[in-house]
Chains A and B, each alone.
Chain A
């Protein structure tokens, strides 16, 4: 800041500083991003230093260097392909199910006050209960295959989707509803032209929360009776003290979530460009 100020005050530097941004001003505009990256790098460096100097036992904690070399091996192995396919399938089927059931259910609950009153206690009960604890029951009901795992993923993801969708539909501005009524819109027209577009931002928030929950579901589902999957490999690695591999799989799952969230944010931006930025 100081440098820029003195530049503009001196006649020779005045024009130049306005046209070409200085390194200092570029750093300022990217400040948040750069500080974020710096935070990650500092943590990795500290981890590496602690492991190299044996302040912590690398056998139990691994180190960034070991994690990177382990990642090279794992990601090029056939095991990784099998794991990703298995986990991906569970996630996709479960999440698709959560969307297909959750979105219409949320709309119905948000739109019909009586049905909402009827279902709300049940919804609250299931939302508050640790659904993950239903895993053994799901295995009894659906077996140890893809079905039970998808159901667990779906169960995790569906609640934030239903609850946010319903809240979005329920809280539509009365003024807008009156406009629809004034033009004699039918219930279905009001739903399609007012309630749904108005609750799109709320649905997006529900889906974002749902992604996180679904990833937890993938991992937990693979703890029991799985033969492949990123979560399965993580669990195996931990029992065999392959700590580097544990971290690799952790980053794979987290990275998957980050990528999905970024894609969603992009879609959201296009669909809700009418919102005040």
Chain B
């Protein structure tokens, strides 16, 4: 209920923003949370504005608890917010057909096979069985799981599950892809493999992508731009860093001196957050 109320409140400002600008646009967006009916409301994100241009990959990093995931959920239309968010020029009032999400937990349906899971979004929107199946096969091949088409999720490793999740998100051919720490639950080796895999897939599909991560090297490897949020509550954008590394990239880009420089810079920004916090606490 609180969700609809928030969106309705934004109605007037929203129609003005329905200007037809593609990609993702956030204008003075705040995200609050508090338990239903309770008086205490915590403002997680305070009045944040940034854009993700069509075909751009933007990473959102920040200290843990800064509300970056909440912000992403708001863009996905799954969490209420204050301010204006548009995706593909439309104000976000709920989940949109042009947007797909990949969350940290793979969230696969345990009763559906790999193919069944990838077909899910297609079947929901009304595609017929045959074309959904063909499209799913194509997607599963893209993520390299053709041999596991008829397996159930519990028969797959964590990395494979996340591949299926990615295939399911891309099957509906969204304009926008939202990634919420998609590899955080994986072991280091699998995570690195998956980062390279995502890089390859993104370069093939060129989806407008907004990704939340706490892995700085992951952000620099994948993104065109890294938005650094300050420590929450009421976190704001601390800095935005253009990642000027040549595309197409592969894992060798990590040896580039500029890659190291970028990661150090972002690391410094986050470190400064932590010391500022400690000084405030001791003062």
Contacts and interface: CB of A to CB of B under 8 A. Distances in A.
Determine the main DSSP class of B at the interface with A: loop
A205 interface: no
A interface residue count range (under 10 / 10 to 19 / 20 to 34 / 35 or more): 20 to 34
Interface in A225-277: 272-276
A183 B101 CA distance: 9
Interface residues of B, number: 25
Interface stretch (A18-26, A64-72, A171-179): A171-179
A82 to B, nearest CB: 44
A184 B103 contact: no
Contacts of B123: 193
Contacts of A179: 107, 109, 120
A182 B111 contact: no
B172 A183 contact: yes
B115 to A, nearest CB: 13
A205 B245 CA distance: 57
Contacts of A173: 107
Contact of A184 (B109, B111, B124): B124
Given A178-B78, A274-B110, A183 B105 contact: no
A181 interface: yes
A185 interface: yes
B103 to A, nearest CB: 7
Interface string A169-210: 000010110111111110001000110011010000000000
Given A175-B103, A275-B110, A183 B152 contact: no
B124 A183 contact: yes
A181 B120 CA distance: 12
Given A176-B107, A274-B110, A182 B101 contact: yes
Interface of B: 76, 78, 94-97, 99-101, 103, 105, 107, 109-112, 120-121, 123-125, 152-154, 172
Given A180-B124, A276-B154, 18 more contacts: A173-B107, A178-B78, A178-B107, A179-B107, A181-B78, A182-B76, A182-B95, A182-B100, A182-B101, A183-B120, A183-B124, A183-B125, A184-B124, A189-B124, A193-B124, A197-B109, A273-B152, A274-B110
7 contacts: A184-B125, A189-B124, A193-B109, A193-B120, A193-B123, A194-B109, A197-B109
- The 4 A-B pairs at the shortest CB distance, nearest first, are namely A175-B107, A183-B121, A274-B111, A197-B111
Interface of A: 173, 175-176, 178-185, 189, 193-194, 197-198, 200, 272-276
